[in-house]
Every structure is written in structure tokens, then in C-alpha cells.
Amino acid sequence: MTPSYDDTQIGRARVTDSPELLAYYKELEELDAGALWTVANDIEPWYPRPRSVPAHWPYAKLRPLVHKALPMVAADDAGRRVVMLTNPGRRELSAAVGLLYTGLQIMGPGEAMTAHRHQAAALRFVLEGTGAWTIVDGQKLKVGPRDFAITPNGTWHEHGNESADTPCIWQDGLDIPLVNALDAPFYEVHPELHQTPGEIVNSSLLTYGAHLLPYGAERWTRPYSPLFAYPWEPTYASLRNLARTSEGSPYDGVIMEYISPVTGGSVMPTMSAHIQLLRQGQHTKAHRHTGSVIYTVAKGSGHSVIDGRQYDWAEGDIFCVPSWSWHEHANASDSYDAVLFSFSDFPVMRSLAFHREEAFTDNSGHQPLV
């Protein structure tokens, strides 16, 4: 059945205003009440109409501004020294798309910040510098370029950079706008300002990174992955091998999800993360789905067409796809692969049974440019 999008049809609100009705609405307003039919078609649209718009943040333009903050504000004075990316349709929520937040955090050589924890969950994708570390619930992680790490909700965390001379920049992804939309935020500063880390660095990676399930792992009852860091090298090797042995998705190319080794599910209950490879010259077909996605170009260059507009991207660029927006991706190179890191609110969509997906079938699966 082809759905009808006609707001004048029976079953949709189609009341014509009259002086009598307008006076009635005023009376209701004074009681903090209202007539449903005046807003029904807006609050129950036929399909998702996100406030967020597709957006693209080129790293070549952002990077100098991120570096500029380094001498101007002390990291601990700022809380975190972060340039956040705000969607033109979501500024009031500090969201990059939908109910997801993202920003670029820069840490100078030798810097170390105090510990805090909050209701929002966080993830990191490293863009530059080799000295970055973070302590997550007492576990020290060292992360380098293109590594992915998580700071699940409620875990203590403090960050720093042990390099003697080079700043590091990583991308933060948090579900702050979601937590705020649900009126559930909490925030605490560590009572001793710092955690005492265990002696072993990247302990969760040593335990879980060989794909072995520890005795007692079934007692890991927290709703997030016990593995906190996902290094780039094995991730990329895995992607490359999959590219040689499998066709992949027509819409996403060779795509894999970072998972919890205990559940096989998303790394955290509100956000999932993916890594995808576009083969030399590959141009995927368009599809759309519920759920908002923030992409980071981990490697290579190309473009994405989002709702009929082309966005050219290069390494380090960040762009977003709002819920229910058509999107397709293309690798510009005939010699090199391109890799996109992304994170999304898919676990929320799935656990609330909001997930829907549709393929673009006209024009061989490619959107006409508007």
C-alpha cells in the first residue's frame, strides 16, 4: 500500500479556524490546555521530519580553530577543552544531529585533567597525536590515531596527554542531548579529583582482545561492553579481510560494528559505533533509516549524497545524516580504499522498536542531485 500524505483527508486534522474557535483556543490557553487538532498534524507527522539538517565539518577548517583554544583556556578551567559541533537546526540542544553530541577535544603535551562521571555515555575516536590516555573506572587506556574507546555512562573518567611535545585531538561522541531530553542528567566530580589507576595499561584489551571469554564473564551484568578500547590496526586488518571475502552491504560497503564481547551487541545501550570500508571507486546505493548518524572520515576521500546534496569529504572530516534522510557514499579514489567511522543512536531505535529502513529504488538506487 502506498501511504497517502494528504493532510486534508478524512482521519487528519482539518478544522477551519473561526472567530468562535480562536476565542475558545484563548480560553484553553489560559488554563494551560490546548485543542489537539490545532497541532495534531505537526506532532504526528506522516514520517520523521527532523529539525536537524545534513551538515559537514571539514577538518582542514576546524583543526586550526581547535589548536587556537590550546593556549587560550586551561583544560581544567574549561572542564574539557572541546570545540563542539552544532547542527544549525539543533543549536539550543548542543546537538550535532538528532539527540547526539560531538566535539573535538584537544589536550596539550603533559596535560592531565580531573576525574568526573555523568549520566551521559561517551566515546572517543582519535584524530591525531600519540600521547593520549584516559582512565576509565580505574583502568588506564592509551589510545592513538583512529583508535576507538568508550566511557560508558556512570564510569569515572579523566584524560591526559603524555607526549612531551605534541598535542592530541580526539573526537568525543556523547548522548548528552538524549539524556537531557529525558530529564535524566547527573554529574559528579571525583571526591579525590583523581582515580588511582591499576598497574596494567589497556587491561580490558588484554583480557578480551584475544576473543576469549573469561570465567565468570556471565557475571558482567553492566549494560555496556567490558572491553573499553578498540585499536585501529586489528580493526583495519579485519575490514580489509572482510573486503576480500565478502560483498558487504549495497548501502554501506564493507561495514562492521564494534561490539561487546560479552553480548555481541552494541558497545553501550544508547550508542553504537561502526567502521566501514568503501572499496576503490565504490559508490553505494542510497537508503534511509530511523536513527541519527555522525560519520568521521578515518581514511581516504570521497563524497556522500545526503537528501540530494553532495558533500565532499577528506580525512578527519565529520558529517552527519539526520534520521530518515536518504544517503549514499562514494570513494573518490580508484587506487585506495576509504574508511568511515560512525556512531549512532541505533541501540535506542532498536530497543524501543523504532527501527525502520527503506531502500531508494529509482534511478538505479542513486539520488538525483537537487
Q: Rule CB under 6 A: which residues touch ligand GTQ?
A: 80, 82, 103, 105, 118, 122, 157, 172, 174
* CB nearer ligand GTQ, residue 97 or residue 122: 122
Closer CB to ligand GTQ, 228 or 326, in the complex = 228
* Cβ distance to ligand GTQ smaller for residue 262 or 268: 268
Residue type, 115: A
Q: Percentage helix, strand, coil, to 5, in the chain? A: 20, 30, 50
What residues form DSSP beta bridges with 344?
272, 293
Give the C-alpha separation, 313 to 59, whole Å: 9
> Whose Cβ is closer to ligand GTQ: residue 115's or residue 349's?
115
CB of 165 to ligand GTQ, least distance (A): 23
CA-based nearest residue to 296, from 264, 321, 328, 279 = 321
- Rounded-to-integer distance, Cα 13 and Cα 46, Å: 12
Listed in sequence order, the residues at least 6 apart from 221 whose beta carbon sits closer than 8 Å to its beta carbon are none
Nearer to ligand GTQ, 90 or 157 (CB): 157
CB of 103 to ligand GTQ, least distance (A): 4
- Among residues 179 and 293, whose Cβ is nearest to ligand GTQ? 179
Nearest distance, CB of residue 113 and ligand GTQ, angstroms: 8
Closest-by-Cβ residue to ligand GTQ is 172
- With H, G, I as helix, E, B as strand and everything else as coil, classify residue 115: coil
Q: How far is the CB of 286 from ligand GTQ (least distance, A)?
A: 31
Query: CA nearest 80: which of 63, 101, 100, 105?
Result: 105
Q: Which is nearer to ligand GTQ, 118 or 327 (CB)?
A: 118
Q: How far is the CB of 85 from ligand GTQ (least distance, A)?
A: 10
User: For residue 258, what is the DSSP state?
Assistant: -
Q: Which residues share a beta bridge with 359?
A: 287
What is the side-by-side order of every strand in the sheet holding 187-189?
A: 139-142, 132-136, 157-161, 116-118, 187-189
C-alpha cell at 34: 490546548
In a 13 Å sphere around the CA of 220, the CA atoms on its Cβ side amount to 16
* Three-state DSSP class for residue 330: strand
Smallest distance from the beta carbon of 173 to ligand GTQ, in angstroms?
8
Smallest gap from Cβ 347 to ligand GTQ, in A, equals 20
